[in-house]
């Protein structure tokens, strides 16, 4: 992977000057590359990775697998683009295997999500079936182990 | 019992490692931010840990052959040829040891007679001198200069050779300076050694950690003459983040390894078997993991060199290992004063260069085997410390 992208994926808050030092580039060069990747959609955004159990916010996350009946002029892409516009949908992917489209949907409660599935997704013409699974506990999120304590076990200074 | 009078006088004359003092001071102060450790912060790769655990699950809990598991020696031989163009027979020229440290100990005990001289480029790792002295040898330090990028020059070597010289230690990539010796540097050293009876002990424990494109060059790969006089020491600690497993190896012409195996057999029996099974997987399957760790160290290296130069502590750009060796001369403090005051005032622990021999004067060793966040905070405190002087 591109060194700059790798660093940004680990910590997007590093200042441009630091990123330049770390990659052996100039600050102007780094800024230009970042701008280019933002413009062409390589970089879609910069977000905090949050353990919501520790934050003061009610949040339920669910994985929803959909089976779809593609129609003429309304195939997987058209369907996926449509549901991607719903604010509750945090990610939308076309999958191999048993289901076709997989969504990550966030809501304030189980009921919220159930209503979203029942009222918004299930009635859609292309949808053959839905299977909703709720996240009970997260152990690792976007590369971060949630319960990690970062203990340094090293005892020797040699 | 009058312990002092009765115990080995030779051993009692040897001073304990100079690093210990600062480690103790840091412990005493508490809540210290250390940039002192000399081992990777990465955990051993997952598949290597699994291999160790599986060997235990399968009941492989016995001694191995004295020289090590045949399959591990075969993998070592293949790896050394693949990585550094070194050719060693796994059956007669390769011995698995308890870390690189045992390999150095065994090599010195095998080669030295009392009265022999050992040429030791300094600053360097702390173990060579005490081991050589315990063998009754005299150690001649070769002071490395920053203007030569802390490399050993042919001229410095030529001047130091006497008729009693038995061993030249080549500890590159270097702990503590991060210096490396390139092919042309080693060719010049080889030229000086030609026609002499001097052995080389080449400690290549950091061989996987070189930066800037050029791979490590093994002295034994330079020529047939160098191969014949070189004892190559390497191990798993730094390359594969396996310090606690205690696994290393030594390769040399068969007459030398024959004697090393004998010593190793009487003193150690064999390296830990669990570690040996893990080592097979490390050499066979972990090239990508090693590359990832190297890339990460390289990022930190650039960050920390830049950090010290910004603070005003001139920092030579190291090409290997995971240490930087900034000069503290601009502060007007000696390296020892610098380290002691830094711990006391800002609770940051670094090691004075002189803990690694007289060549370390005016410098401190700083490890970047830490997260960027940790290094950043330590640099901030060091910056404050220097500004307040």
User: How far is the C-alpha of B203 from the C-alpha of B368, rounded, in Å?
Assistant: 21
User: Which tokens is B194 given?
Assistant: 């030609």
Q: What is the average per-residue pLDDT within B209-232? A: 96
Give yes or no on whether B3-44+288-387 and B46-285 have one common fold.
no
Per-domain residue ranges for chain B?
3-44+288-387, 46-285
Interface contacts A/B by beta carbons within 8 Å: 38
Q: Which of A6, A15, A158 to mutate to test the interface with B (most CBs of B within 10 A)?
A: A158
Q: Which of B29, B46, B365, B372 to mutate to test the interface with A (most CBs of A within 10 A)?
A: B372
A158: CB partners within 8 A, 6+ apart: B17, B19, B38, B125, B126
Q: Tell me the pLDDT tens digit for each residue of B167-176.
A: 999 999 999 9
Residues of A in contact with B294 (CB under 8 A): none
Separation in Å, CA B298 to CA B174, B178, B210 = 16, 12, 9
CB contact at 8 A, A14 and A6: no
ipTM of the complex: 0.72
CB contact burial B49-61 (16+ within 10 A = b; e otherwise):
eebbeebeeeeee
**Three-class DSSP category at B198:** coil
A60-135 architecture in CATH? 2-Layer Sandwich (3.30)
Q: Which fold has domain B46-285?
A: 3.40.640
Q: Which of B40, B302, B373 to mutate to test the interface with A (most CBs of A within 10 A)?
A: B302
User: How far is the C-alpha of A92 from the C-alpha of A81, rounded, in Å?
Assistant: 9
Distance from the A158 Cα atom to the nearest Cα atom in chain B, whole angstroms: 5
How much is the mean pLDDT over chain B? Answer: 96
B39 CB near a chain A CB, below 8 Å?
yes
User: Which tokens is A83 given?
Assistant: 């549901």
State residue B241's pLDDT score. Answer: 97
| Percent above pLDDT 70 for chain B | 100
Residues of A in contact with B21 (CB under 8 A): none
The closest of B201, B270, B265 to B229, measured between CA atoms, is B201
Distance from the A156 Cα atom to the nearest Cα atom in chain B, whole angstroms: 6
For B302, which of A11, A24, A158 is closest by C-beta distance?
A: A24
Residue A123 is classified by DSSP as T
Is the pLDDT assigned to residue B20 strictly greater than 90? Answer: no
Q: What is the mean pLDDT of each run of 10 residues along chain A (158 residues)?
A: 89 93 94 96 92 85 95 92 94 95 95 95 94 93 80 75
User: How far is the C-alpha of A19 from the C-alpha of A105, rounded, in Å?
Assistant: 34
Separation in Å, CA B255 to CA B93, B204, B268 = 8, 21, 20
Are residues B39 and A3, on separate chains, in Cβ contact within 8 Å?
A: no
Q: What is the average per-residue pLDDT within B286-313? A: 96
Region of A143 please: left (phi>0), alpha (psi -120 to 50) or beta. left
B37 CB near a chain A CB, below 8 Å?
yes
Residues of A in contact with B22 (CB under 8 A): 157
Are residues B19 and A158, on separate chains, in Cβ contact within 8 Å?
A: yes
Query: Which regions of chain A carry the CATH code 3.30.70.920?
Result: 60-135
Residues of A in contact with B299 (CB under 8 A): 3, 7, 22-23
User: How far is the C-alpha of A37 from the C-alpha of B81, rounded, in Å?
Assistant: 41
**Three-class DSSP category at B184:** helix
The closest of B374, B102, B80 to B221, measured between CA atoms, is B80
CB contact at 8 A, B259 and B231: no
Residues of B in contact with A6 (CB under 8 A): 295
Separation in Å, CA B233 to CA A45, B79, B93, B147, B185 = 48, 14, 12, 28, 19
B303 CB near a chain A CB, below 8 Å?
yes
For B37, which of A18, A22, A157 is closest by C-beta distance?
A: A157
Distance from the B65 Cα atom to the nearest Cα atom in chain A, whole angstroms: 30
B19 CB near a chain A CB, below 8 Å?
yes
Q: Tell me the pLDDT tens digit for each residue of B233-288.
A: 999 999 999 999 999 999 999 999 999 999 999 999 999 999 999 999 999 999 99
State residue A71's pLDDT score. Answer: 87
State residue A157's pLDDT score. Answer: 63
Residues of B in contact with A154 (CB under 8 A): 37, 39, 41
Residues of A in contact with B126 (CB under 8 A): 158
The closest of B59, B80, B370, B48 to B219, measured between CA atoms, is B80
* Beta strand spans in chain A (E): 60-68, 89-94, 101-107, 127-134, 140-141, 144-145
What φ, ψ does residue B248 adopt, rounded to 5°? -145, -175
Are residues A156 and B39, on separate chains, in Cβ contact within 8 Å?
A: yes
Distance from the A121 Cα atom to the nearest Cα atom in chain B, whole angstroms: 41
What φ, ψ does residue B347 adopt, rounded to 5°? 55, 45
Q: Tell me the pLDDT tens digit for each residue of B55-107.
A: 999 999 999 999 999 999 999 999 999 999 999 999 999 999 999 999 999 99
| Percent above pLDDT 90 for chain B | 94
Residues of chain A contacting B, Cβ within 8 Å: 3, 6-7, 11, 14, 18, 21-24, 152, 154, 156-158
Are residues B23 and A22, on separate chains, in Cβ contact within 8 Å?
A: no
B339: CB partners within 8 A, 6+ apart: B22, B349, B350, B351, B352, B364
B42 CB near a chain A CB, below 8 Å?
no
Tell me the whole-structure pTM to 2 decimals.
0.89
Residues of A in contact with B349 (CB under 8 A): 157
Give the residue with greater pLDDT, B363 vs A157. B363
CB contact at 8 A, B82 and B278: no
Domain B3-44+288-387 classification at class level: alpha beta
């Amino acid at each position: 992977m591109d060194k700059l992208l790798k660093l940004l994926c680990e910590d997007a808050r590093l200042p441009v000057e630091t990123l330049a030092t770390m990659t052996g580039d100039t600050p102007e060069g780094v800024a230009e590359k970042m701008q280019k990747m933002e413009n062409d959609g390589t970089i879609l955004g910069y977000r905090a990775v949050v353990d919501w159990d520790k934050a003061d916010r009610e949040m339920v996350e669910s994985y929803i697998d959909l089976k779809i009946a593609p129609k003429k002029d309304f195939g997987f892409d058209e369907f996926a683009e449509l549901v991607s516009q719903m604010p509750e949908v945090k990610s939308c992917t076309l999958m191999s295997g048993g289901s076709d489209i997989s969504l990550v949907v966030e809501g304030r409660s189980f009921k919220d999500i159930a209503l979203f599935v029942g009222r918004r997704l299930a009635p859609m013409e292309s949808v053959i079936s839905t299977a909703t699974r709720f996240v009970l506990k997260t152990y690792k999120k976007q590369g971060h182990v949630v319960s990690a304590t970062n203990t340094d076990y090293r005892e020797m200074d040699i | 019992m009058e312990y002092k009078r009765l115990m080995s006088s030779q051993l009692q004359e040897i001073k304990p490692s100079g690093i210990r003092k600062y480690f103790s001071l840091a412990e005493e102060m508490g809540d210290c931010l250390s940039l002192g450790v000399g081992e990777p912060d990465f955990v051993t790769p997952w598949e290597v840990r699994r291999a160790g655990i599986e060997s235990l699950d399968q009941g492989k809990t016995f001694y191995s052959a004295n020289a090590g598991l045949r399959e591990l020696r075969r993998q070592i031989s293949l790896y050394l040829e693949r990585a550094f163009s070194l050719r060693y027979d796994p059956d007669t020229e390769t011995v698995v040891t308890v870390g690189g440290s045992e390999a150095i100990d065994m090599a010195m005990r095998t080669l030295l007679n009392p009265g022999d001289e050992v040429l030791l480029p300094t600053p360097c790792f702390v173990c060579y001198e005490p081991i050589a002295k315990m063998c009754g040898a005299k150690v001649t330090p070769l002071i490395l200069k920053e203007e030569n990028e802390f490399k050993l020059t042919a001229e410095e070597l030529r001047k130091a050779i006497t008729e009693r010289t038995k061993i030249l230690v080549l500890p590159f990539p270097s702990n503590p300076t991060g210096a490396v010796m390139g092919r042309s540097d080693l060719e010049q050293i080889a030229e000086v050694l030609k026609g002499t009876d001097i052995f080389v002990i080449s400690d290549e424990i950091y061989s996987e950690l070189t930066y800037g494109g050029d791979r490590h060059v093994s002295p034994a790969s330079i020529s047939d003459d160098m191969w014949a006089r070189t004892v190559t020491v390497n191990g798993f600690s730094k390359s594969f983040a396996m310090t606690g497993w205690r696994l290393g190896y030594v390769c040399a012409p068969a007459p030398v390894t024959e004697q090393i195996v004998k010593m190793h057999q009487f003193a150690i029996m064999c390296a830990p078997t669990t570690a040996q099974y893990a080592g097979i997987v490390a050499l066979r399957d972990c090239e990508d993991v090693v590359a990832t760790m190297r890339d990460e160290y390289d990022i930190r290296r650039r960050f920390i060199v830049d950090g010290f130069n910004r603070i005003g502590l001139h920092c030579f750009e190291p090409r290997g290992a995971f240490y930087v060796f900034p000069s503290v001369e601009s502060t007007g403090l000696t390296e020892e004063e610098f380290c002691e005051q830094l711990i006391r005032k800002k609770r940051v622990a670094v090691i004075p260069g002189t803990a690694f021999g007289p060549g370390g004067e005016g410098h401190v060793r700083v490890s970047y085997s830490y997260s960027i966040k940790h290094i950043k905070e330590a640099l901030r405190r060091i910056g404050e410390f220097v500004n307040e002087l």
